[in-house]
């Protein structure tokens, strides 16, 4: 990550395998260089690095040896990656637990590490973030009838990974405080739609 200092910092270029005398054919050397390049660009999960090594044709035994060593010395830490990801994506993009868990799963993070990371988001924090999202979007829906407004705002929260029940309660609360009723739209409508989609709370 940038250190915020002034310009002029030296750019370090890692050598390619062919530039390491006598080691261009050592698959572990190649694997280490590939992993270092990847980690210099951005944090990566072990699964992401493993996939990159496979694409680059590194033998599995060499890849596992290097990945294991990197994990031992803390260069790869999926639990820390997951924790940082949740904090960054929740506060930066307003994503709910479900969306965060899906993103981490796509990056190959272990289920236990995912659960531990998203568990750090308390229900109160998730509710407050959802409410802030609705309040920011409220003005853009001002000309719409209450029920239409409610459905659109709930849909926005659902796309960001918030459970239907929580989304409904947040939006209804904000609309009522704004002096607009959403009568005629029942919470069960959203819960049943979510259950039918195969994504229960």
Does position 196 have pLDDT exceeding 60, yes or no? no
Does position 200 have pLDDT exceeding 50, yes or no? no
Q: Check whether residue 39 and residue 113 sit in a common domain.
A: no
Closest alpha carbon to 48 in 63, 33, 29, 69:
63
Domain that holds residue 66: 17-76
Tokens of 33: 């260089």
Does residue 47 lie in a domain region? yes
The total domain count for the chain is: 3
Does residue 146 lie in a domain region? yes
pLDDT in tens, 103-162: 999 999 999 999 999 999 999 999 999 999 999 998 888 888 878 888 889 999 999 999
Does residue 1 lie in a domain region? no
Q: Check whether residue 185 and residue 151 sit in a common domain.
A: yes
Q: Check whether residue 143 and residue 106 sit in a common domain.
A: no
Residue with tokens 């050592």: 26
What's the CATH number where 36 sits? Answer: 1.10.10.10
The DSSP code for 170 is H
Q: Check whether residue 127 and residue 153 sit in a common domain.
A: yes
pTM surpassing 0.85? no
Dist CA 165 CA 128 (whole Å): 15
- Predicted confidence band at 4 (pLDDT cuts at 50, 70, 90)? very low
The alpha carbon of residue 175 and the mean position of all alpha carbons in its chain are separated, in whole angstroms, by 29
Contact 76, 46 (CB under 8 A): yes
Closest alpha carbon to 118 in 154, 158, 90:
90
């Amino acid at each position: 990550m940038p250190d915020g200092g002034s310009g002029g910092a030296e750019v370090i270029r890692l050598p390619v395998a062919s530039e390491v005398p006598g080691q261009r054919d050592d698959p572990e050397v190649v694997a280490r260089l590939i992993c270092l390049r990847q980690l210099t660009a951005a944090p990566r999960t072990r699964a992401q690095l493993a996939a990159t090594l496979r694409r680059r044709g590194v033998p599995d035994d060499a890849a596992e040896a290097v990945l294991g060593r990197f994990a031992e010395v803390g260069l790869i830490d999926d639990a820390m990656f997951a924790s940082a990801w949740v904090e960054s994506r929740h506060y930066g993009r307003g994503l709910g637990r479900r969306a965060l868990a899906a993103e981490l799963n796509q990056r190959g993070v272990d289920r236990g590490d995912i659960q531990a990371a998203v568990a750090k988001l308390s229900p109160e924090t998730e509710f407050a973030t959802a409410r802030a999202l609705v309040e920011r979007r409220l003005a853009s829906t001002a000309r719409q009838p209450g029920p239409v407004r409610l459905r659109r705002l709930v849909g926005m929260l659902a796309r960001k990974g918030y459970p239907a029940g929580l989304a409904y309660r947040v939006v209804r609360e904000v609309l009522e405080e704004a002096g607009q009723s959403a009568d005629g739209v029942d919470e069960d409508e959203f819960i049943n739609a979510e259950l039918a989609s195969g994504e229960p709370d």
